[in-house]
Structure 1
Amino acid sequence: MEEAGEQNFVTTLDKEILPNNFKEAILDPNWKKAIKEELSALHKNKSWVISQLLSGKKTVGCKWVFTKKYNPDGSINKYKAKLVAKGYSQTYGIDYQEIFTPVKKLNTIRIQWSLATNLDWPLHQRDFKNAFLNRDLENEVHMEIHKG
């Protein structure tokens, strides 16, 4: 049987409504703050340079993705806004030549947990506001500036 707190949490998640777009999000102070934090982090990490689009170059669009992070009791921990490129509009062999995605398989995580448990190593959890790959791009990527 579910505990009352768990049941309330599921009910709360069911009723949560996330903004569908920037115009909806910017009206709420919580989402506005999350958008500012994302833009600040992108600026701090020098993720882009605003420039004129050169002749013959294509752009990819972008969109805002909104999510909420919750505490174990079901209360909202934070509002999260991410500006993401619409990379699906690119064509392999034309817009890019290779794909690089760092992944960690579940088996690797299980081995690490097992080692930490058996060797009495401390485990720490981290929540990064923004994670960026430390690899330079070989090709330029031109992203449209989001309206708003």
Structure 2
Amino acid sequence: MGIFKPKGWLSEVTDLDKTEPRSYKESLLHPSWKQAMLEEYEALIRNNAALPQDRKGIGSKWVFRLKQTPSDEIARYKARLVAQGFNQDYGIDYFETFNPVVKPTIIQLILSIALSQN
């Protein structure tokens, strides 16, 4: 006997207030998701995320997430436009693959070491 994982089938849910859209078209049907997409677009414009003229663009995709409070209430609708990085070539489209992320536990560890070493 082999080990298997039963497949779970999701029912079609039309209440976009409590679910994450699966496509761009689906997100346009709900004002809160539309607003989240607009905020992401405006943030990209503010950060000058423009394509240099000598570069060819790669595809992108919208990713949607519901941010919830500990009591499972909706805190905010979050939409991100992400690049399809698998189409990039090292040295042409990008030069570094490291994205530094600092977590609070790392900061606490470094400060603890600094205090112990005076």
Give the secondary structure class of the aligned counterpart of 2:39. Answer: helix
Match of 1:140 in 2: none
Match of 2:26 in 1: 24
Q: 1:77 aligns with which of 60, 68, 75?
A: 75
Change (3 A) 1:109 1:99: same
Match of 1:62 in 2: 60
Task: Could you tell me which runs of 5 or more consecutive residues in structure 2 were left unpaired when the two chains were aligned.
Answer: 1-17
Aligned AA for 2:60? Answer: C
Match of 1:46 in 2: 48
Distance in 1 (alpha carbons) for counterparts of 2:101 and 2:80: 20
RMSD between aligned residues:
2.9
Match of 1:102 in 2: 100
Following superposition of structure 1 onto structure 2, how do residues 127-142 of structure 1 map, counting pairs within 5 Å? none
Return the offset for 1:34.
0.5
Distance in 1 (alpha carbons) for counterparts of 2:34 and 2:43: 14
For normalisation by structure 1, the TM-score amounts to: 0.53
Distance in 2 (alpha carbons) for counterparts of 1:113 and 1:35: 38
Equivalent residue pairs, number: 97
Match of 2:39 in 1: 37
Distance in 2 (alpha carbons) for counterparts of 1:73 and 1:34: 22
Distance in 2 (alpha carbons) for counterparts of 1:35 and 1:65: 10
Return the offset for 1:110.
4.3
Distance in 1 (alpha carbons) for counterparts of 2:46 and 2:32: 21
Task: Could you tell me which runs of 5 or more consecutive residues in structure 1 were left unpaired when the two chains were aligned.
Answer: 1-15, 119-148
CA deviation map 1:31-65 (0-9, x unaligned): 0111111111112222215x8x65xx532100101
Aligned AA for 2:27? Answer: A
Give the secondary structure class of the aligned counterpart of 2:101. Answer: coil
Answer yes or no: is the 8 Å Cα contact 2:19–2:66 preserved in 1.
no
